[in-house]
Structure 1
Amino acid sequence: MILAKRVRLRPTKEQETQLWKSVGTARWAYNWALSKQKESYKNSGKFIFDGLLRKELTILKQTDEFSWLYEVSNNITKQAIKDLCHAYEKFFKGLADQPRFKSKRKSKPSFYNENVKLKVKGKKVLIEKVGWVVVSECIPDKKYYNPRISNDGKYWYLSVGIEESKPIVELTNVSLGIDVGIKELAVCSDGTRKKNINKTSNVRRGEKRIRRLQRQISRKYEINKEGNRFVKTSNIIKIEKKIQHLYRRLTNIRLNHLHQSTSEIVKTKPYRIVMEAINIKGMMKNKHLSKAIAKQCLFKFKRQIQYKCEKYGIEFVEANQWYPSSKTCSSCGNKKNDLNLSDRLYKCECGHEIDRDINAAINLSRYKLVN
């Protein structure tokens, strides 16, 4: 299977300038291709294939106005157009939302590097039109898939897919059900619980610090306002950078917790893992819970469980979205239709009393038996 490896780059100032040029060019090419697709669909209702768009861009580059495109690798613009066309195809098939224009301020800074031209020599990698860049650790010299260079607001990273063989693992005869939620990240049918990292003092302190800085920056914008225009001073830029770094830190804390939790679950070696299908889009419509749901990163949790199950040869089962795992008694099988979200203890007519989340996890572990 192909697993991603991410290593930190340590570019010089000149190399970093070239990396930012590549990021800007990739974003421009994506937006240019999107505008062409929208114009074509509006006028004729047709989809333009990426090969035609790339030929048009090659002709465009030969003009004086767009000669700056030669300053970066040709593969960056080619792949950006290809990515947009792939996203547009998914939109037409109903698999994704309509692609949007990439903002300079909000979009993730990243670009593609041709996998054939990516060379490794010890703790250095060769990036097209950038040169040999120092990396924090050695990368195995293998065939690379989809190399991408990105910036997380503080550091530059190189992400590559590397093919690895699956380890041989002896699995137990346990079927493990996992119930995810807001109170706790996950509750397993064997009784183990994974805490909600957003309730810890470390995360709460970071969020409090962000709120304080955001109020501070808002006051500074009001003070430096000139008519209808907001002036961005050097102090405002400093505070914005602090906020960006705090958001980055909180994201890393949450991702680290997800990786640790999913690895601990998978390393119990059950022969299968059952999770309920999660309608994140529908859940986010609840204005009271949307913020808490977004912070839990439930989709990322499911995705990590899935690829780790594939790695260790564990069967991953996704239960039906309407399967009444919480409302069904895990002892007698009776269904309780009047169960509310506030009822944290499940009380059945048969006298069985159990924590609501563990009850749901046990029912999920028996999903195939009752369905």
Structure 2
Amino acid sequence: MAVHRKVYRFRMEPTQTQAEALLRMAGARRFVWNWGLARRKEAYAATGKGLTYNQQATELTALKKQPEMAWLREADSQLLQQALKDLDRAFRAFFSKRASFPRFKSKKRDEPRFRIPQRVKVEDSKVYVPKVGWVRLRQSQPVDCPIKGATFKRDGAGHWYVSLTAEFEMPDVPLPSANPERVVGIDLGLKDFAVLSDGTRIAPPRFYRKGLAKLRRAQRALSRKQKGSRNREKARKRLSKLHARVRHQRQDWLHKLTTGLVTRYDGLCIEDLNLKGMAKTKLSLSVLDAALGEFRRQLTYKAVWYGKHLVVIDRFFPSSKLCREGGAINQNLALSERVWTCECGAVHDRDLNAAQNIRAEGMRHIPVAVGHTETLNAWEEGVRPAHGGQSSLNQESHRL
């Protein structure tokens, strides 16, 4: 049995007293992080060696017994231990050169948050937070898996959210064969968010661009306010709410789109795009607004949940330049050419041609159900010799 993770995220509706308690918990987490970081730096300066998590956990127990630190006992003990574990993981990431050196957390810049690995429960649209009690939730779906941890966080608009990490088991067996008629190629872009191999075109919502005028006005209003004033805090919250609205609109749209695709098709074929490189071009605003990386992330884990095939085609595969009729490659195809004519006389819509070529290449890696024949191209062959196509369940890097 393969173990997979699922994360539920709900907005909390705490009372004023509960919100203050959650804020104190977040403050305790920030204090322990800063204290642990300072102790590690002191120990290294004195002895040339750092401290381990176990050493700091022992020191934390002694710290809580000091009279002036009695307020730490009001916070959940696992929350404080988790802060030290997070710090230890940050140092390991630094020493393995995967991250920069851990920094102290500022009360002004760091969003209030904390993590509790156990004893968090959800019942009747309420979540139980140790040391706080039962807090109301806007629960949109049932939590039908065992909870393995919970992260509580307050956003810039002042709303508290809980992210519940759950685990579930799935039989570690090969995916069922797919019906070729229910396999689709997906070409992602900016003019159209996605073009499917069956001719369907999905227009980009452009939520950020549509809200850009309001965001700019709110940003200008914030910049005019005096630092430290109440009016500046009000302006900051208005700006945060606008950003949150854009973020929520985009997430809602992407979730509906990816769920619809996964439930409609047995197999999905996409390209491995260089999104970091695209985000550094003059089209960066459009690339980031489209959230193509989030689309792929959702498609990947939902394919696992629903038991569907997901094939990721190599990024160097010439999907747009390849003629699906004769197999010739148009090496001189420019980005501005949306329709092009092959030397064999075939006229291609750039994006639709790419989607169909992606599907044909992806079909090489998807088992076909009995009674169906694989759809081949015009010369009754695969598009090109097999290479790095990746199945969502066969590649560990694509697991959630």
Q: Does 1:188 align with 2:192?
A: no
**Aligned-residue CA RMSD in angstroms?**
3.1
Paired residue for 1:172, among 179, 188, 192?
179
Cα deviation for residue 347 of structure 1 reads 2.6
1:93-108 pair list within 5 angstroms:
93=96, 96-98=98-100, 101=103, 102-108=105-111
Tell me if structure 2 keeps the 8 A contact 1:84–1:99: no
1:306 aligned to 2:308? no
Q: In terms of mean alpha carbon deviation, does 349-358 or 51-60 score higher?
A: 51-60
How many residue pairs are counted as aligned between the two chains?
355
Tell me which residue corresponds to 1:80.
Answer: 83
Residues 1:312 and 1:126: Cα distance change in structure 2 (over 3 Å): closer
Q: 1:105 to 1:192 in 2, by over 3 A?
A: farther
Partner Cα distance (1:126, 1:105) in 2: 28
Partner Cα distance (1:131, 1:14) in 2: 11
Q: How does 1:1-371 map to 2 (within 5 A)?
A: 1-33=4-36, 49-64=52-67, 66-90=69-93, 92-93=95-96, 96-98=98-100, 101=103, 102-115=105-118, 117-137=119-139, 140=143, 143-152=146-155, 153-163=157-167, 171-173=178-180, 174-198=182-206, 204-221=209-226, 231-270=227-266, 272-286=267-281, 288-367=282-361, 368=364, 369=382, 370=384, 371=386
SS in 2 for 1:7: strand
Cα distance, 1:246 vs structure 2 = 0.6
Cα separation, partners in 2 of 1:318 and 1:291, compared to 1, 3 Å: same
Q: Helix, strand or coil: the match of 2:255?
A: helix
Which stretch of structure 1 is more off in the superposition, 274-283 or 47-56?
47-56
SS state of the match for residue 366, structure 1? Answer: helix
Residue in 1 aligned with 2:370?
A: none
User: Any gaps of 5 or more consecutive residues in structure 2?
Assistant: 365-381, 387-400
TM-score with structure 1 length normalisation? Answer: 0.83
How far apart in 2 are the matches of 1:326 and 1:60?
A: 63
CA contact (8 A) 2:90 2:102 kept: no
The one-character-per-residue Cα deviations of 1:272-315 (angstroms, maximum 9, x if unpaired) are 222222322222222x1222212221211111000111112112
Q: What displacement does 1:50 show?
A: 3.0
Q: Any conservation in 2 of the 1:166–1:312 contact (CA below 8 Å)?
A: no
Q: Which runs of 5+ in 1 are unaligned?
A: 222-230
Q: 1:31 to 1:350 in 2, by over 3 A?
A: farther
Change (3 A) 1:19 1:175: same
- Indicate the residue corresponding to 1:228 in structure 2: none
Distance 1:248 1:65, change over 3 A: same
In 2, Cα distance between equivalents of 1:5 and 1:15 = 21
What is the alpha-carbon distance in structure 2 between the residues aligned to residue 335 and residue 47 of structure 1?
58
Q: Deviations over 1:304-347 (max 9, x none)?
A: 00011111211222222222222222222212222222222233
Structure 1 residue 253: deviation in Å? 0.5
Overall identity of the aligned pairs, in %: 35
Structure 1 position 172, deviation (Å):
2.8
CA distance in 1, matches of 2:109, 2:11: 22
> CA separation of 1:97/1:267 partners in 2, compared to 1, >3 Å: closer, same or farther?
same
Classify the secondary structure of the residue corresponding to 1:332.
Answer: coil
C-alpha separation between the residues in 1 aligned to 2:247 and 2:216? Answer: 16
Query: In 1, are the aligned partners of 2:195 and 2:355 still within 8 Å (CA)?
Result: yes
> CA contact under 8 A between 2:121 and 2:147: conserved in structure 1?
no
Query: Does structure 2 retain, via aligned residues, the 8 Å contact 1:9–1:134?
Result: yes
Q: Secondary structure of the equivalent of 2:211?
A: helix
Q: What is the deviation of 1:234?
A: 2.1
Q: Is the 8 A contact 2:190 2:286 kept in 1?
A: yes
> How far off its partner does 1:4 sit?
2.2
